[in-house]
Amino acid sequence: MPAIVVVGLQWGDEGKGKIAHFLASWADWVLRFQGGNNAGHTVVFDGKEYVLHLIPGGILYPGKKCLIGNGVVIDPVFLAGEMEFLEKRKIKVKGRLFVSDRAHLIFPYHRHIEAFREALKSRVGTTRRGIGPAYGDKFARVGIRICDWMDGRTFRKLLRQNVREKEVFVREFINPRRLEAKILDDRKKVLPKIRNVVTDSAALINREFNSGKNILFEGAQGTMLDCDFGTYPYVTSSNPVSGGACVGSGLPPTKIDEVLGVAKAYVTRVGLGPFPTEIKGSLGEYLRKKGKEYGATTGRPRRVGWLDIVALKTAVEINGVKFLCLTKIDVLDGLKEVKICKAYKIKGKVIKSFPASRRIMETAKPVYEVLPGWNKPTRGVTSFAALPPNARRFVRAIESFCEVKVVLISMGRSREETIYLSEKFPP
Ligand code: IMP
């Protein structure tokens, strides 16, 4: 009766959507435990490409059940919209999607606060979905949970208090009374739809686990965007690390069997913040020529860098990863040489651990191991042995640097463009 957590080990966009979708065939339940509609999971299913932001990708798999845990922040209008988007495409949602009654909600004033902060010099470069301010309210204990939103009288009182408290920010964009009326009106429209999916999700998932069901946790964002372990303050406001799966769902650590890490063969990040291996030249230009690498949620071009082993090794440790899925290796096809950042040079000293201080991080210079590239395409290859020898060498170098086993290599969005290195998958 296993429960598996899939986590991103970099700055998001590792291709977790594809891996989670794979594992969905094994799972009975697919759960989200953190973040909100700042995520963007691209899944190719039945030849069609779907980008889901809030509902777990498992919903595309007939018969699977999905849960949005208490650790997720939910924009109710967005949730109702995504449910409709799926229903219009004949994907059944009723009886298959469940949402925690304890999940906190995102309201337009959260986006206003975020827009206000993002206009300042100290901005983070967020997705502007109101994620940070919603989590801020949760921990300041002024947030509004779905269960309280559903109760009209309680909600009106909490809403009035919240709008009053946030008037200074709101006024910049809209008359506070009009905003309040709009939020009440939105509630009227979407409540009938959402009411049916709300449940005590911690009790539900523990019950399902105890009855032998397989549970898959679909992490959003990545370890380097984790509010505690990432490149703070250029992070998201939740805990994408594996530990977040327990807090964000109510399934205890004793019930988690395995953590599967997903990392790209290089790194990208959207938004601001230090990025020691960022490159302006070869790989970046190469990707631009291929017309690749735009964020699925923001549509912003991504900053590109060589694989950062210092960050990856830290992520492997914090998440408890033994098995690694290496994605997008095909992007490196055709390069004369490929680089791996094995340490940082900070003020003349070689450092192999990931620094916390933002000032130190900004000055870190990468120390590279340079490996020969490969000329033959990896796309279309279906076994490890058939990969170009230098691509195999690259994979083995990652395994030995990070002390993990690469169990899957992916070189494209579809199911066929995958190499399995372990007979037993999931592990
Ligand atoms: P927020 O999550 O909207 O608060 O944004 C905080 C930071 O996390 C920004 O740098 C975003 O670009 C980044 N971010 C949030 N969600 C994702 C994601 O799903 N993929 C990649 N980056 C993300």
The catalytic site residues sit at 13, 41
Per-residue pLDDT of 355-369, as tens digits, reads 999 999 999 999 999
Provide the residue count of the chain: 427
Pocket of ligand 1 (CB under 6 A): 12-13, 38-40, 124-127, 129, 131-132, 220-221, 225, 234, 236-237, 270-271, 295, 297
Q: Could you tell me the pLDDT band of residue 271, with boundaries at 50, 70 and 90?
A: confident
Average pLDDT over residues 255-272: 94
* Ligand 1 mutation pick, 270, 275, 303, 304, max ligand atoms within 8 A of CB: 270
pLDDT at 303 over 90: no
pLDDT at 1 over 60: no
Average pLDDT over residues 81-92: 95
Say how many Å lie between the CA of residue 26 and the centre of ligand 1: 29
Say how many Å lie between the CA of residue 127 and the centre of ligand 1: 6
Say how many Å lie between the CA of residue 323 and the centre of ligand 1: 25
10 Å CB burial of residue 122 (0-12, 13-18, 19+) is: exposed
| Higher local confidence (pLDDT), 372 or 279 | 372
- CA 120, 121, 124, 127 torsion-angle sign: positive
- pLDDT value at position 356? 95
Q: Is 299 helix (H, G, I), strand (E, B) or coil?
A: coil
Per-residue pLDDT of 153-166, as tens digits, reads 999 999 999 999 99
- Minimum-distance ligand 1 atom for the alpha carbon of 126: 5
Say how many Å lie between the CA of residue 226 and the centre of ligand 1: 10
- pLDDT value at position 412? 87
Over the range 84-121, which residues count as b (16 or more CB within 10 Å of their CB) and which as e?
ebbeeeebebeebbbbbbbbbbbbbbbbbbbbbeeeee
Alpha-carbon 93 to chain mean position: 22
Whether the ω angle into residue 426 lies within 30 degrees of 0, i.e. cis, is yes
Q: Could you tell me the pLDDT band of residue 132, with boundaries at 50, 70 and 90?
A: very high
How many Å apart are CA 3 and CA 215, to the nearest integer? 5
* Ligand 1 mutation pick, 32, 116, 118, 127, max ligand atoms within 8 A of CB: 127
Which residue's CA lies nearest to atom 22 of ligand 1? 12
Average pLDDT over residues 74-93: 96
Say how many Å lie between the CA of residue 390 and the centre of ligand 1: 33
